[in-house]
Chains A and B, each alone.
Chain A
Amino acid sequence: MTARLTVAGLAASRGPSTLFRDVSFEVASGEWLAVRGPNGSGKTTLLRCVAGLTRADRGEVLWDGAAARGDARFHASLLYAGHQPGIKDDLSAEENVRSALALRAVAVPDGAVRAALADVGLERRRHLPARRLSAGQRRRIGLARLILDPAALWALDEPLTALDDEGEGLFTRLLERHLATGGLAILATHDDLAPAPARELRIGA
């Protein structure tokens, strides 16, 4: 699978202040881009502009050469997780994962969800409502999603938040596998991850 994310001349502001202007980069299959910068510098806004949630002031985002915003193919290939990853407190871990996959029109073979939850260490707690899990355990629900979702592009905002060392190792292995199978990723992160990024983008420094 070859895919390419192209961003050209992107500019965005929050209220009266400009966060970034004329940001351009390309990410191809097997590569990941690290977005770094101090708090409040616009990393989250950049990710949201790439995902199409926030309308940028200028510039364009292209997926495989076609405009990304509003394109169903792009949405099918994109897995986005912001600060609030979309986990319902009243649903169990297993129900959360199933619901998220169904929302993205991903068909799941029997037993795959349970196996993924076992891989992230939530098998015994998979029927508990998410409100009864710790912050780190809720983050692991997101990791289970990453295991199962075949999306080509990951756009993740601070993916290592609240994860312990074991969780970080798990995420690193998932990222390596994702890149090895032709996926791409754009991650806003302070940490140094094991597979080195193809490129680093500094914002607001």
Chain B
Amino acid sequence: MNVIAARLPAPDSGGSFSAAFSWAFARDMRLAIRHPGETMLVVAFFVLVASLFPLGVGAEPQLLQRIGPGVIWVCALLSAFLSLPAMFASDYADGSLEQMSLSPQPMPGWVAGKIAAHWSASGLPLTLLSPLLGLQYDLAGDTLLALAAALALGTPVLSLLGAACTALTLGARGGGMLLALLALPLFIPVLVFGAGAAEAQASGLSAAPHLSILGAGLIVAAMALPPAVCAAVRIALD
């Protein structure tokens, strides 16, 4: 057995935001693809719960059309919420989170990469599936489009907010209930504007104002929340 005698050149301290982002994104996407169960559960839950409402309130088309956007949004929100613990749980348990926080790569970089990968495995499938569920509720074409656009802008915000709450509750007692108490109130503005966009479209007004606010919210959240998540992770590892 020969131990390699030559050492590699020393790493340059730093790395960059985009290098850290791509590292985390590629790794988490690879892990998600090898364990598609998580994504399938999120999607299955979404479809299942959205199907419960017509069974509960009666299948009258006008009523369903009226409640459709809101119900689909609430189901997407709950599905996104259920997928949150998985974002950090496995890395926290096997010591990877420690290794990541000790890396010379900038922390907001890999945090943003993890959040982006999480959204790709949860929020993105929900967004793509929403038009199908909208058909179940007999929503018009332009309403479906507005709904999908609102979800496309809103679910990343949910992932960002959810990441902050998940990181804060790592290792806490109270598990899912505590996470619900923290995350769901913060989700409320996203829900209000997201469902509002589709409802505005459905009643003939433009969805543009709501979508603009969602877009602005996404930009603010994408800038401000990764550092907050970093602070929460450092607190969790302390």
The answer to whether A and B touch directly, with their CB atoms under 8 angstroms apart, is: yes
B3-A147 in contact (CB<8A): yes
A121-B1 in contact (CB<8A): yes
Q: How many A-B residue pairs have CB under 8 A?
A: 117
Complex Cα spacing A119 to B2, Å: 6
A106-B238 in contact (CB<8A): no
Could you mark each residue 4-31 of chain B with 1 if its beta carbon is under 8 Å from any beta carbon of chain A, else 0?
A: 1101111111110001000100010011
Decide yes or no whether A196 CB sits under 8 A from chain B: no
A80-B98 in contact (CB<8A): yes
Could you mark each residue 88-131 of chain B with 1 if its beta carbon is under 8 Å from any beta carbon of chain A, else 0?
A: 00100111101111111100001000000000000000000000
* B101 partner residues in chain A, CB cutoff 8 A: 53
B102-A80 in contact (CB<8A): yes
Decide yes or no whether A21 CB sits under 8 A from chain B: no
With a 10 A CB-CB cut-off, give which of B102, B103, B105 has the most chain A CB atoms.
B102
Given A170-B1, A174-B3, the answer on whether A104 and B103 have CB atoms closer than 8 Å is: yes
A88-B104 in contact (CB<8A): no
B3-A177 in contact (CB<8A): yes
Chain B nearest Cβ from A202, distance in angstroms? 25
Complex Cα spacing A77 to B99, Å: 13
The contact size tier of chain A is 35 or more
* A77 partner residues in chain B, CB cutoff 8 A: 13
Complex Cα spacing A129 to B101, Å: 24
A83-B95 in contact (CB<8A): yes
A73-B13 in contact (CB<8A): yes
* A147 partner residues in chain B, CB cutoff 8 A: 3-4
Contact of A105 among B7, B19, B93, B99 (CB under 8 A): B19
Binding site for B on A (CB under 8 A): 51-55, 72-73, 75-78, 80, 82-91, 95, 99-100, 102-109, 112, 115-116, 119, 121, 129, 147-150, 170, 173-174, 177, 181
Question: Top 9 A-B pairs ranked by shortest CB distance?
Answer: A84-B95, A76-B13, A86-B99, A105-B15, A76-B104, A86-B95, A75-B104, A86-B96, A105-B11
